[in-house]
């Protein structure tokens, strides 16, 4: 009996070993290496041990603080908007009396199967100063002058928020739709019989029943926004350099990219900032779990 | 049986033939940006070289400049040499950065090229610890290209554009817009090229010779920033564009009446069907700055051979045979592309003194030669990208009426932080 378990164990390990080896080589080793790198200073490929010099540099770096501010701004504004929109769409599309549900559901989900770069390029052309969006707004007399989407710090931020909301709302909606299917219809029926108005049904039944999914999507969206890169490197880019104008859409990930591939390469410092993102993700996820914990 | 043996011999002979041709044929890959300029000049050089060396195949891969720089830096950082080209074009501002960051990545050409034949400043900026790595290509001597037909309508003849200040140019822009309805310039707010032009026109730069930031107590920097912001506040002066395509499209399509930039823009301008409607003036100068002149530089780049390149020797031979000896080649790319060579013997060629009908018979090349001689030399250092980013970050605030001294403080702080 004992030997059988041992043999089964061995077989188990043998089966998982290739996957573990790959995971170790391509996940764990780079992560440990980046931690090691974050203690290195020097220009380009000339490394030397710098101790906590990079952490010290962080605290005095105005661009880092600026990028952090931008990233948190995107997070604080975009994630709530997207979560609420996704909830509204999900509840509306869950209504069996709504016609053309399948088409609408597909339409809202479709953006998130497009490639990040492809949609970024599309947005860039649509929101150009003489692009279709401005043309349409001008034609409808909503604005009298074209909006400088790409050349004004404020509008550039708005554009990025619009873009990622368009791209990811459908993705979150699908989670809510799936969760809504799991709510027993008899609960709503009982509520209706008791005369609970629709509004209260939404806030008192739907939201509490979805709380775990809402938490899950919020944590995922937080992580995604902290890593925001493709959009700001493509939509608000000019001459091959993202984060424009005037670094108004510079995010932490883009700053890491600049430090590594565009500026005089500071690989160690870039690794340090990537660990800042890791710590932020950890902290924010922990806070969100705490907030959502049942009392 | 006999037949089979014969077939076998044939097959072996065939394989040997294939390997023999493979050994003879050499592939050289070149990375560069601006197909109408660098690419066209390179293709002309390739045509000349392959005429004499038909077994060599040279391929030019075209990128946007920013993409090329990112791709090169990424690949050099990764440590894998597969996929790198044999020859790569690097802009002068970035030369030292690459040479210092990636020791051993580029092939020193000190013993292979006679550098006394090239402009001294171009050689120096590609030299690290006594070794020179580049085949110096073009100069970026600056000029104010303008539509002579439109400016004449607005009442400005060629002489009216000589010896003016940037503020006077701004006033001319008002008049041009009023009369012709077109702005004088196209401006990409994310491009700090204008600041770089102004700085060097007065012999100054973002950095001191020792590499420290030269921003806060630099009167030239303050004057340049003040002038440029003043121009940007004048909405009549320019069309706001985003990206290189929009920027060049504006004057190539005739939406705006001019551009001040490096001589290398000539190729693009001559690519339009507007012969006789263009002219070139010296750039304006910074008012009230000692030592400021009408000559400056923007960009300019050089060819580098990668040490890891499989066809390294062939690549060096190619550079030697055409880029470092063919005077006639340089005449051709001067007239065709406006490639203002760093190869000094080329300057004695006839094309350098000829009049150009596209520019209304102006002897543009002689003018550029004169301005070239007057460019103050500066040390670009290794942090141009960082400094550009710090400057452009402040521009929108300044245009909205922000305080110039506060902005200079912020730029200085940002650069000081970045150059450690």
Neighboring chain A residues of B101 at a CB cutoff of 8 Å: 43-46, 264-265
pLDDT reported for residue B1: 39
B332 and B384 housed in the same domain: no
What is residue A6's predicted lDDT score, i.e. its pLDDT?
Answer: 85
Q: Which residues of B touch A153 (CB under 8 A)?
A: 396
Three-state DSSP at A40 gives strand
Domain-embedded: residue B358: no
Q: Which pLDDT does position A63 carry in this prediction?
A: 86
Domain of A178, CATH number, reads: 1.10.3720.10
**Rounded Cα distance, B16 and A167, in Å:** 57
The percentage of chain A sitting over the pLDDT mark of 70, rounded to a whole number, equals: 98
A240 vs B66, B392, B397: nearest CB: B66
Mean pLDDT of chain A: 86
Inter-chain touch A262–B191, beta carbons under 8 Å: no
> What's the sign of the alpha-carbon dihedral B156, B162, B163, B165?
positive
Across the interface, of B73, B393, B394, the residue whose CB is closest to A265 is B73
Contact A265 B77 (CB under 8 A): yes
| Same domain assignment for residues B124 and B44 | yes
Contacts of B100 in chain A (CB under 8 A): 43-44, 46
**Range list of H helices, chain A:** 2-23, 29-37, 53-60, 62-93, 101-109, 116-126, 132-139, 153-181, 185-193, 198-200, 207-226, 230-234, 252-257, 267-292
**What pLDDT, in 10s, does the model give residues B35-79?**
888 988 999 999 999 888 888 889 999 988 888 988 898 888 888
- Residue B353 counted as domain residue: no
**Which pLDDT score is estimated for A295?**
52
> C-alpha dihedral over B41, B42, B48, B52, to 10 degrees?
170
* Overall domain count for chain B: 2
Same domain for B161 and B81 = no
Q: Which residues from A are below 8 Å from B417, CB to CB?
A: 57, 60-63
**Does B101 sit within 8 Å of A265, measured CB to CB?**
yes
* CA nearest to B240 within chain A: A151
Contacts of A148 in chain B (CB under 8 A): 240
Q: Is residue A56 part of a domain?
A: no
* Chain A residue with minimum CA distance to B239: A129
A69-74 average pLDDT score: 90
Q: Do A239 and B244 touch (CB under 8 A)?
A: yes
Residue B2 has pLDDT above 50, yes or no: no
Nearest residue on chain B to A237, judged by CA atoms? Answer: B243
Q: For an interface test with B, which of A54, A149, A236, A240 has the most B Cβ atoms less than 10 Å from its Cβ?
A: A240
Domain span at residue A147 reads: 61-292
Of B77, B101, B190, the CB nearest to A245: B190
* Residue A67 forms part of a structural domain: yes
Contact check, Cβ <8 Å, B100/A44: yes
Does one domain contain both B148 and B248?
yes
| Cβ atoms of residues A53 and A41 within 8 Å | yes
| Residue B101: pLDDT band with limits 50, 70, 90 | confident
Does residue B355 belong to any structural domain of this protein? no
Contacts of B73 in chain A (CB under 8 A): 260-262, 265
Calculate the alpha carbon distances from A201 to A189, A197, B211 in Å. Answer: 10, 6, 67
B180 and B63 both lie in a single domain:
no
Do B262 and B321 belong together in one domain? no
Nearest residue of chain A to residue B411 (CA atoms): A62
Asked whether residue B306 falls in the same domain as residue B411, the answer is: no
Q: What is the ipTM of this complex?
A: 0.72
Which of B69, B99, B189 is the best residue to mutate to test the A interface, defined by the most A CB atoms within 10 Å of its own CB? Answer: B189
The structural domain count of chain A equals 1
Whether residue B406 is contained in a domain is answered as yes
Give the A-side interface with B, CB within 8 Å: 43-46, 57, 60-63, 66, 128-129, 148, 150-153, 237-241, 244-248, 258, 260-265, 267
Q: Which residue has the higher pLDDT, B13 or A155?
A: A155
* One domain, residues B188 and B208: yes
Is A17 inside any structural domain? no
B66 found inside a domain: yes
Nearest chain B residue (CA) to A46: B101
Q: Which residue has the higher pLDDT, B328 or A129?
A: B328
pLDDT of residue A131: 83
Instruction: Give the chain A residue whose CA is nearest to the CA of B102.
Output: A45
Going by pLDDT thresholds of 50, 70 and 90, the confidence category of residue B170 is very high
**DSSP string covering A220-262, please?**
HHHHHHHT--HHHHHTT-BTTB-S-STTTT--HHHHHHIIIII
- For the beta carbon of residue B12, count every other beta carbon within 10 angstroms: 10
C-alpha torsion angle, residues B256, B261, B262, B263 (rounded to 10): 40
**Are the beta carbons of A264 and B389 separated by less than 8 Å?**
no
Q: Residue B52 maps to which CATH number?
A: 3.40.190.10
pTM above 0.90, yes or no: no
Domain that holds residue B331: 2-139+299-348
**Do the domain assignments include residue A26?**
no
Chain B residues in contact with A258 by the CB 8 A cut-off are 389
Mean pLDDT computed over B76-101: 88
Asked, for residue A197, whether it belongs to a domain, the answer is yes
Percent of chain B with pLDDT over 90: 38
Q: How many CB pairs under 8 A join A and B?
A: 112
Residues B147 and B175 reside in one and the same domain: yes
Is residue A7 a part of any domain in this protein? no
pLDDT tens profile A120-172: 888 888 888 778 888 888 888 888 888 888 888 888 899 999 999 999 998 99
Predicted local confidence at residue B7, as pLDDT: 52
Residue B360 lies in a domain: no
Given pLDDT bands bounded at 50, 70 and 90, which one contains residue A206? Answer: confident
Q: Are residues B148 and B197 in the same domain?
A: yes
| Structure tokens, B301 | 């780049």
Residue A14 lies in a domain: no
* Mean pLDDT of all residues in B334-357: 83
pLDDT band at B20 (very low <50, low <70, confident <90, very high): very low
Q: What angle do CA A20, A22, A23 make, to 5 degrees?
A: 60
Q: Is A87 exposed, middle or buried (0-12, 13-18, 19+ CB in 10 A)?
A: buried
Q: What mean pLDDT is predicted for residues B156-181?
A: 92
**Higher pLDDT, residue A114 or A46:** A114
For the cut 60, the answer to whether the pLDDT of residue B10 exceeds it is: no
With respect to residue B357, please indicate whether it lies within any of the assigned structural domains. Answer: no
* Residues B308, B224 share a domain: no
pLDDT tens digit sequence for A237-276: 876 677 777 888 889 899 998 888 888 788 888 999 999 9
The answer as to whether B359 is a domain residue is no
Three-class secondary structure assignment of B135-163: EECECCEEEEEEEHHHHHHCCCCHHHHCC
Contacts of A109 (CB under 8 A, 6+ apart): A170, A171, A173, A174
A227 phi-psi bin (left φ>0, alpha ψ -120 to 50, beta other): alpha
- Cβ-nearest to A240 among B67, B100, B382: B67
Looking at the structure, do residues B182 and B228 belong to the same domain, yes or no?
A: yes
């Amino acid at each position: 009996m004992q030997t059988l378990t041992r043999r089964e164990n061995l077989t188990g390990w043998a089966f998982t070993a290739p996957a573990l080896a790959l995971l170790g080589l391509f996940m764990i080793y780079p992560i440990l290496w980046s931690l090691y790198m974050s203690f290195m200073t020097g220009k380009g490929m000339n490394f030397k041990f710098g101790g906590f010099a990079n952490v010290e540099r962080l605290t005095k770096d105005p661009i880092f603080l600026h990028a952090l501010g931008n990233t948190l701004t995107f997070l604080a504004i975009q994630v709530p908007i997207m979560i609420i929109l996704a909830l509204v769409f999900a509840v509306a599309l869950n209504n069996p009396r709504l016609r053309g549900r399948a088409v609408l559901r597909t339409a809202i989900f479709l953006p998130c199967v497009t490639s990040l770069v492809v949609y970024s390029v599309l947005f860039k052309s649509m929101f150009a100063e003489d692009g279709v969006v401005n043309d349409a707004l001008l034609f409808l007399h909503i604005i009298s002058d074209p909006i400088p989407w790409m050349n004004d710090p404020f509008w550039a931020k708005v554009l990025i928020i619009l873009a990622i909301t368009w791209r990811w709302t459908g993705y979150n909606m699908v989670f809510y739709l799936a969760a809504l299917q799991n709510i027993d219809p008899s609960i709503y029926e009982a509520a209706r019989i008791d005369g609970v108005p629709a509004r209260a049904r939404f806030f008192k039944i739907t939201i509490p029943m979805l709380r775990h999914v809402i938490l899950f999507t919020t944590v995922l969206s937080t992580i995604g926004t902290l890593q925001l890169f493709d959009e700001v490197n493509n939509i608000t880019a000019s001459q091959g350099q993202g984060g424009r104008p005037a670094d108004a859409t510079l995010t932490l990930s883009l700053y890491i990219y600049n430090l590594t591939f565009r500026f005089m390469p500071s690989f160690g410092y870039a690794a340090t900032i990537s660990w800042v993102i890791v710590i932020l993700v950890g902290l924010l996820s922990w806070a969100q779990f705490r907030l959502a914990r049942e009392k | 049986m006999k037949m089979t043996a014969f077939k076998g011999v044939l097959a072996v002979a065939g394989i040997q033939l294939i390997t023999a041709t493979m050994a003879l044929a050499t592939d050289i890959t070149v990375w560069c940006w601006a197909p109408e300029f660098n690419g066209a000049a390179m293709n002309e050089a390739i045509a000349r070289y392959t005429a004499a060396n038909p077994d060599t195949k040279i391929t030019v891969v075209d990128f946007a400049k920013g993409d090329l720089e990112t791709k090169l830096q990424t690949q050099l950082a990764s440590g894998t040499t597969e996929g790198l080209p044999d020859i790569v074009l690097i802009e002068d501002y970035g030369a030292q950065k690459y040479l210092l960051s990636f020791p051993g990545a580029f092939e020193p050409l000190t013993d292979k090229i006679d550098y006394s034949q090239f402009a001294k400043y171009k050689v120096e900026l590609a030299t690290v610890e006594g070794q020179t790595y580049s085949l110096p290509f073009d100069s970026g001597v600056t000029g104010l290209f303008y539509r002579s037909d439109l400016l004449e309508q607005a009442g400005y003849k060629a002489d009216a554009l000589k010896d003016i200040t940037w503020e006077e140019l701004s006033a001319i822009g008002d008049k041009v817009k009023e009369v012709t309805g077109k702005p004088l310039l196209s401006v990409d707010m994310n491009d700090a090229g204008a600041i770089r032009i102004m700085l060097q026109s007065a012999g100054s730069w973002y950095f001191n010779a020792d590499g420290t930031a030269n921003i806060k107590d630099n009167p030239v920097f303050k004057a340049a920033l003040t002038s440029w912001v003043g121009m940007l506040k004048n909405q009549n002066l320019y069309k706001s564009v985003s990206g290189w395509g929009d920027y060049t499209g504006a004057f190539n399509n005739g939406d705006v009446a001019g551009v001040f930039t490096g001589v290398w823009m000539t190729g693009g301008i001559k690519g339009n069907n507007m012969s006789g409607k263009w002219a070139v003036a010296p750039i304006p100068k910074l008012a009230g700055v000692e030592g400021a002149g009408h000559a400056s530089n923007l960009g300019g780049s050089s060819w580098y051979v990668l040490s890891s390149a499989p066809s390294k020797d062939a690549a060096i031979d190619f550079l030697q045979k055409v880029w470092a000896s063919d005077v006639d080649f340089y005449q051709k790319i001067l007239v065709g592309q406006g490639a203002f060579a760093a190869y000094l013997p080329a300057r004695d060629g006839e094309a350098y003194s000829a009049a150009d009908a596209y520019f209304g018979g102006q002897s543009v090349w002689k003018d550029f030669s004169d301005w070239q001689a007057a460019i103050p030399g500066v040390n670009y250092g290794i942090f141009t990208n960082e400094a550009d980013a710090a400057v452009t970050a402040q521009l929108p605030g300044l245009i909205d009426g922000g305080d110039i001294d506060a902005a200079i403080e912020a730029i200085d702080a940002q650069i000081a932080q970045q150059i450690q």
